[in-house]
Structure 1
Amino acid sequence: MWTKHHKKRYLGRLAMPAITAVFLTYFGYHSIHGEFGLESTERFNQQLVDRKARLAVLVEKRQTIEKEVALLSDGSLERDMLDERARFALNMSRADEIVIFH
């Protein structure tokens, strides 16, 4: 019966650790710099804070407009508000008034 004897190769011993190191490096890099990595999470959190601040400003503007609309509704018509809106829409004023644009 014949048997083959192989020499032990050093390349075979280093192949699996080298492949493992390459995979760990690849996934480690992408866990920090990738599309869903730590840096992207920081950018997302900053956008979230900015957009919440903008939402607060828009909600405040909307509430102001809703108050003005409530003053112009049929049930509680304010003469002063109606006069102000009519002058603004028609771009007119009385001769004795001072107009301040802002």
Structure 2
Amino acid sequence: MQAAALGALLLMAGFVVAGPSGFLAWSENEHLLTQQQKKIEQLTAQRDHMRNRVKLLDPRHADPDLAGELLRSNLNVAHPDEMVMLLPKQP
């Protein structure tokens, strides 16, 4: 009986150290949490940028600068007196 109790106790101690939510998995879970928080920050910034562009393109009062930029970039439209300079995209 004592051997079975000792075995069960050792098994529980093993799960505390090496189980799915044990001490060894704690640092890995913390690292994953940090990665997910960074991804959430990036996606939030991207969402805010897109929300701002949508607001600027509202049909009732569109921003003329953004509308002109989109026309030039998507339709390759330019005035005869304009010089086009291509810049590399930044990540």
1:57 to 18, 42, 48: 42
Structure 2 runs not aligned, ≥5 long: none
Structure number, greater radius of gyration: 1
| TM-score, structure 1 as length reference | 0.70
Q: Give the match's secondary structure for 1:60.
A: helix
Matched, 1:81 2:77: no
SS of residue matched to 2:34: helix
C-alpha RMSD of matched pairs (Å):
1.9
Q: What's the CA shift for 1:85? A: 0.9
Unmatched tracts of structure 1, length 5 or more:
1-15
The count of residues paired between Structure 1 and Structure 2 equals: 86
CA contact (8 A) 2:71 2:77 kept: no
CA offset at residue 19 of structure 1?
A: 2.3
How far does the alpha carbon of each residue in 1:15-57 deviate from its partner, in whole angstroms, 9 at most, with x for none? Answer: x332222221111111211123222233222212221121111
Identity across matched positions, percent = 17
- 1:45 alignment partner in structure 2: 30
Task: Tell me which residue corresponds to 1:20.
Answer: 5
